[in-house]
Amino acid sequence: MAKGITKRSVDYSRWYTDVIAAAQLADYSPVKGCMVIRPTGYAIWEKMQAALDKLFKDTGHENAYFPMFIPEHFMKKEAEHVEGFAPECAVVTHGGGKELEEPLFVRPTSETIIWSMYKDWIQSYRDLPILINQWANVVRWEMRTRLFLRTTEFLWQEGHTAHATAEEAEAETKQMLEIYRIFSEEYMAVPVITGRKTEREKFAGALHTYCIEAMMQDTKALQAGTSHNLGQNFAKAFDVTFQNEAGELESVWATSWGVSTRLIGALIMTHSDDNGLVLPPKMAATPVVFVPIWASNEEMNTVLKKIDEITADWKGKFNFKIDDRNNIRPGRKFNEWEKKGIPIRIEMGPRDMETNEVVLVRRDTGEKIRLPQDNLVERILTTLETMQNDMFNKAKEFRKHNTHIVDDYEEFKQRLDNEGGFYLIHWNGKTATEEKLQEETKATIRCIPFDSPDEPGKCLITGEPSERRVLVARAY
Amino acid sequence: MAKGITKRSVDYSRWYTDVIAAAQLADYSPVKGCMVIRPTGYAIWEKMQAALDKLFKDTGHENAYFPMFIPEHFMKKEAEHVEGFAPECAVVTHGGGKELEEPLFVRPTSETIIWSMYKDWIQSYRDLPILINQWANVVRWEMRTRLFLRTTEFLWQEGHTAHATAEEAEAETKQMLEIYRIFSEEYMAVPVITGRKTEREKFAGALHTYCIEAMMQDTKALQAGTSHNLGQNFAKAFDVTFQNEAGELESVWATSWGVSTRLIGALIMTHSDDNGLVLPPKMAATPVVFVPIWASNEEMNTVLKKIDEITADWKGKFNFKIDDRNNIRPGRKFNEWEKKGIPIRIEMGPRDMETNEVVLVRRDTGEKIRLPQDNLVERILTTLETMQNDMFNKAKEFRKHNTHIVDDYEEFKQRLDNEGGFYLIHWNGKTATEEKLQEETKATIRCIPFDSPDEPGKCLITGEPSERRVLVARAY
């Protein structure tokens, strides 16, 4: 266990904060509910951005930028939307030393400002589809905040697309959820359940919302990304019509989808341990650190010279750092890189040089492997790949172990309190039942999983008929 | 001349707006003074970000993110700073449905919030230097706005560094200005004058400000980037001290530096022509477009098949687009890509196929070159390089032609009105004289150029002694 990091088994919530502090990922700021993302944390966000941006562009999306201020009357055009978001907005009332004629909302999400522009850009079916994404900051006033998971200002991407048909919009909504699943599982090594949100949990203004839900190490759920089919709601609110091929005027179909810096929280809570951050190789800006060991300045020079030889062919294969600081002892260096989650540490001292070996240490398992100095590149690349897979499988195994099927409400309540976890339960599909469930157990319906089979049963709460099981858990 | 684009000679200002509209770079938004950066414009910003970000990281800087809200009392801690910025701030007074206890300023720049954090991060000389950059949106309330050049919200990067000595801070300030010069000249092909701002024009809160100044095609000046030596001003305002190697407490030394989406305006106004946008190859997300020519569907298939063969080895060498739209005639495609500034257009029809040739068209000169289909990759790469150099040299030649040395105030006033341009004049170093110059001529001292030699003379306005010439022009 690392100094300064509370054990998970002692206090999970403090452990999370301690890991963030130890790895210098983020800090609370003097502005209530806002965080500072420090360089180590921001480097993870840059890795996320790069991977997602490529996935978006490979599917034909382009980036753009819309103003962060939204006139008050725009927010009010879509009834559900304003009801959902207005209460948590920050409002600018003064600018340039004067009171504004109309207050400006700092965007909590950009549907309204974007659809006010799409009105000018869309006339004919030839102008469709529009496939735009934006990387931006947004603000949602939060009472209780938690670094990365829930902050008043956060960074995200929001895709906003416009289509000629309902079918195309639905296909886009599903495609983007699938991209989020791929990103989460193949890059973050975080397994997710894909499914549909209930009416109560859907985005304010959407027809329906799809989501990916992940299990954290305390077995609580975390919503990691959402993709919304907005139907024609925003087109109608902003009067965006197009002439179809038959020459008739129709309202445009819309989607929006987003993930945020919350993903960094999901990453930490899925993989990290009592020694600090554990990063899957694909999310590490620097996946390898080389820590030399020496007892004298003479030894230092010999060891560093040898390291230059060994690492000569590493460039372009993966990023690495050589920790050649002379005023810090190796043990402290090991500890520092462990806390920061660097996937692979290579150690080499004079004794290893005699046998032409190095020691490779895996951050995820702590395993130490003696390796010949020859062909180290290949061994490192293979190990990084293995680690990426192992971390995903470990997390998936953990989720499987903690996912339960229950059909008795009392058993459910007891197990939820004792073991936590995900539960697949029958539900009658009614919002009132959903609210009752939350009131009585603090658990919510996370989603109706796509892979939930038709399976008639009785609602766990009311005994009424149910067509299939839904996913229930306590959530962040 | 392209349809919908006013000629520069007729109305330069309308030409600028028309070029932006024709290339779909940006739009005014319904929010006063705020713009929407459309995908074509944002792609340029992404090219700028990628190049600058690499230059910053290669010199040891890391990215981070700080809150965009700044408590009112922070702004007031540095006297000059609040005086300079508070009048142009947007102010949040309400959040989460309630009036805030203390108003929050939307950042016009982030020195105050960042130095409030540096106070926690810096204790000893071992914590220094801190070399942090942030990519962010900022807000400065503007009365008269112009797309890219001056908007209420804009995107930028702001570097904020902390150092143990005055010398180190000064070296950093100069290094970052040099990076801006390199980026401007070698990537944007925009020649710049480097120099120091006068006391009156320096950043509010800085010891001194260095800048790069570019000449637009109407011979007006545009400040394209600034780098500030902040001395110990912000460290003192936020009480940021460190223990030096001798064990004594000292205030930390600071710099900040930034460039913004304004650079896109500079790019447009330096290179574009009466046919629309002209992009230097290094700023084009897609430097090459291939436009096939056909008269029948049968021809279409043959031509497109040939194009696949020709472009097979282009991948990975440069980005390109094959414009295979069948419902648009080639002439309209030419026009469209011309307006969007794509550097090289390749044309090929059935007749070119008979001779195994293509036609290459340079966007900057309009020159058409017949080329054999073999080894086209090499010719395109060479042409892109030549264009990049030619565009820089053309702009430099233009600036040289429009830069004048004058020693008579009446002559200066007359020439400034008749020909515009840059003027190297003698100045007595006094702010009052600078103000008089601006009142009487609408020209300002752009900078004291680094390469201005010691040359005793008489102040153009007052006749008082002057040590060297300064650069004067009307500016954006």
Name the pairing type of β-strands A35-37 and A26-28. antiparallel
Question: Considering only alpha carbons, which residue of chain A is nearest residue B35?
Answer: A67
Q: How far is A450 from chain B (nearest CA, A)?
A: 34
* pLDDT(B1) > 60: no
What is the mean predicted confidence (pLDDT) over B304-333?
Answer: 95
Establish if B66 touches chain A: CB-CB under 8 angstroms.
yes
Establish if A27 touches chain B: CB-CB under 8 angstroms.
yes
What is the mean predicted confidence (pLDDT) over A55-67?
Answer: 98
Name the pairing type of β-strands A344-348 and A288-292. parallel
Cα angle A253, A255, A258; round to 5: 170
B403-473: CATH architecture = 2-Layer Sandwich (3.30)
Could you give the CA distance from residue B432 to residue B198 in angstroms, rounded to a whole number? 12
Q: Which residues of B fall within a CB distance of 8 Å from A92?
A: 90-93, 106
- CATH 3.30.70.1350 corresponds to the domain B286-381: no
Q: What are the Cα distances from residue B202, in Å, to A415, B148, B168, B195, B447?
A: 66, 22, 20, 12, 10
Binned at pLDDT 50, 70 and 90, residue B229 comes out as very high
What is the residue extent of each domain of chain A?
A: 12-271, 281-387, 403-473
Q: How far is B26 from chain A (nearest CA, A)?
A: 9
Q: Are the beta carbons of A87 and B67 separated by less than 8 Å?
A: no
Rg (CA), chain B: 25
- For CA atoms A261, A264, A270, A273, the dihedral sign is negative
Determine which of A298-302, A417-421, B12-16, B184-188 has the lowest per-residue pLDDT on average. A298-302
* pLDDT(A1) > 60: no
Q: Which residues of B fall within a CB distance of 8 Å from A69?
A: 31, 34, 90, 153
Q: Which of B42, B93, B120 sits opposite A64 (nearest CB)?
A: B42
CATH fold group of domain A281-387: Rossmann fold (3.40.50)
What is the pLDDT at residue B249?
A: 97
What is the pLDDT at residue A2?
A: 60
Q: Which residues of A fall within a CB distance of 8 Å from B103?
A: 94
Q: What is the dihedral of CA B177, B180, B181, B183, to 10 degrees?
A: 160
What is the pLDDT at residue A250?
A: 97
- CATH 3.30.930.10 corresponds to the domain A12-271: yes
Q: Would you say A442 and A405 are in contact if contact means Cβ atoms under 8 Å apart?
A: no
Q: Would you say A323 and A337 are in contact if contact means Cβ atoms under 8 Å apart?
A: yes
Q: Would you say B50 and B37 are in contact if contact means Cβ atoms under 8 Å apart?
A: no
Establish if A21 touches chain B: CB-CB under 8 angstroms.
no
Q: Are the beta carbons of A113 and B31 separated by less than 8 Å?
A: yes
Q: How far is B468 from chain A (nearest CA, A)?
A: 38
Q: Which residues of A fall within a CB distance of 8 Å from B67?
A: 29, 31, 34-36, 153
Q: What are the Cα distances from residue A191, in Å, to A44, A183, A373?
A: 18, 10, 35
| Average pLDDT in chain B | 96
Interface test with B, best of A27, A56, A65 (most B CBs within 10 A): A65
**Strand segments (E) across B165-301:** 192-196, 208-215, 221-231, 241-243, 249-251, 253-260, 288-292
pTM recorded for the entire structure = 0.96
What is the pLDDT at residue A143?
A: 87
CB atoms within 10 A of CB A458: 14
Could you give the CA distance from residue A130 to residue B38 in angstroms, rounded to a whole number? 11
> Strand pairing partners for B445?
B472
Q: Would you say B124 and B239 are in contact if contact means Cβ atoms under 8 Å apart?
A: no
CB atoms within 10 A of CB B394: 16
Establish if A310 touches chain B: CB-CB under 8 angstroms.
no
For chain A, the farthest-separated pair of C-alpha atoms sits apart, in whole angstroms, at 83
Interface test with B, best of A45, A57, A77, A91 (most B CBs within 10 A): A91
Could you give the CA distance from residue A449 to residue A446 in angstroms, rounded to a whole number? 9
Q: What is the pLDDT of residues A426-462, one digit of tens each?
A: 999 999 999 999 999 999 999 999 999 999 999 999 9
> Strand pairing partners for A210?
A196, A227
Q: How far is B368 from chain A (nearest CA, A)?
A: 31
Which among B328, B404, B199 is positioned nearest to A126, based on CA atoms?
A: B328
Q: Are the beta carbons of B92 and A87 separated by less than 8 Å?
A: no
* pLDDT(B371) > 90: yes
Which among A96, A158, A103, A167 is positioned nearest to A131, based on CA atoms?
A: A158
Q: What is the pLDDT of residues A367-387, one digit of tens each?
A: 999 999 998 999 999 999 999
A104 φ, ψ (degrees, to nearest 5): -110, 130
Could you give the CA distance from residue A421 to residue A403 in angstroms, rounded to a whole number? 6
> Strand pairing partners for A425?
A470
CB atoms within 10 A of CB A379: 16
3-state class (DSSP) for residue B389: helix
Q: How far is A324 from chain B (nearest CA, A)?
A: 16
Which among B141, B138, B229, B226 is positioned nearest to B179, based on CA atoms?
A: B226
Interface test with B, best of A27, A31, A74 (most B CBs within 10 A): A31
What ipTM describes this predicted complex? 0.96
Establish if A131 touches chain B: CB-CB under 8 angstroms.
no
Q: Which of B34, B36, B38 sits opposite A69 (nearest CB)?
A: B34
What is the DSSP track for A294-358?
Answer: -SSHHHHHHHHHHHHHHGGGTTTTS-EEE---SSS-HHHHHHHHHHTT-SEEEEE-HHHHHTTEE
What is the mean predicted confidence (pLDDT) over A354-360?
Answer: 96
Q: Where are the alpha helices (DSSP H) in A358-429?
A: 376-401, 409-419
Could you give the CA distance from residue B362 to residue B284 in angstroms, rounded to a whole number? 14
What is the mean predicted confidence (pLDDT) over B323-330?
Answer: 92
**Strand segments (E) across A5-139:** 26-28, 35-37, 62-63, 69-71, 90-95, 98-106, 130-139
Q: Are the beta carbons of B137 and A137 separated by less than 8 Å?
A: yes
Q: What is the pLDDT of residues B32-71, one digit of tens each?
A: 899 999 999 999 999 999 999 999 999 999 999 999 999 9
Residue A356 makes CB contacts below 8 A (sequence gap 6+) with A372, A373, A374
What is the pLDDT at residue B93?
A: 97
How distant is the alpha carbon of residue B366 from its chain centre?
26
What is the mean predicted confidence (pLDDT) over B344-369?
Answer: 96
Higher pLDDT, A68 or A86: A68
Could you give the CA distance from residue A435 to residue B221 in angstroms, rounded to a whole number? 63
What is the pLDDT at residue A334?
A: 97
What is the DSSP track for B109-169?
Answer: S-HHHHHHHHHHH-SBGGG--EEEEEEEEEE---SS-BTTTB-SEEEEEEEEEEESSHHHH
Q: Would you say B278 and B311 are in contact if contact means Cβ atoms under 8 Å apart?
A: no
Q: Are the beta carbons of B92 and A92 separated by less than 8 Å?
A: yes
What is the pLDDT at residue A80?
A: 86
Q: SS in 3 state form for A128-174?
A: CCEEEEEEEEEECCCCCCECCCECCEEEEEEEEEEECCHHHHHHHHH
What is the mean predicted confidence (pLDDT) over B79-90?
Answer: 89
Question: What percent of chain B is modeled with pLDDT above 90?
Answer: 94
Residue B181 makes CB contacts below 8 A (sequence gap 6+) with B192, B194, B212
* pLDDT(B251) > 80: yes
* pLDDT(A120) > 80: yes
* pLDDT(A108) > 60: yes
Establish if B63 touches chain A: CB-CB under 8 angstroms.
yes
What is the pLDDT at residue B280?
A: 98
3-state class (DSSP) for residue B200: coil
Q: What is the pLDDT of residues A186-195, one digit of tens each?
A: 999 999 999 9
Q: Are the beta carbons of A39 and B91 separated by less than 8 Å?
A: no
CB atoms within 10 A of CB A122: 22
* pLDDT(B431) > 70: yes
What is the pLDDT at residue A185?
A: 98
What is the pLDDT at residue B2?
A: 60
Q: Are the beta carbons of A46 and B62 separated by less than 8 Å?
A: no
Interface test with B, best of A70, A92, A133, A157 (most B CBs within 10 A): A92
Q: Which residues of B fall within a CB distance of 8 Å from A116?
A: 29-30
B96 φ, ψ (degrees, to nearest 5): 60, 30
* pLDDT(B394) > 90: yes
One-letter amino acid identity for B287? P
Which helix (H) or strand (E) segment holds residue B12: the answer is: helix B12-22
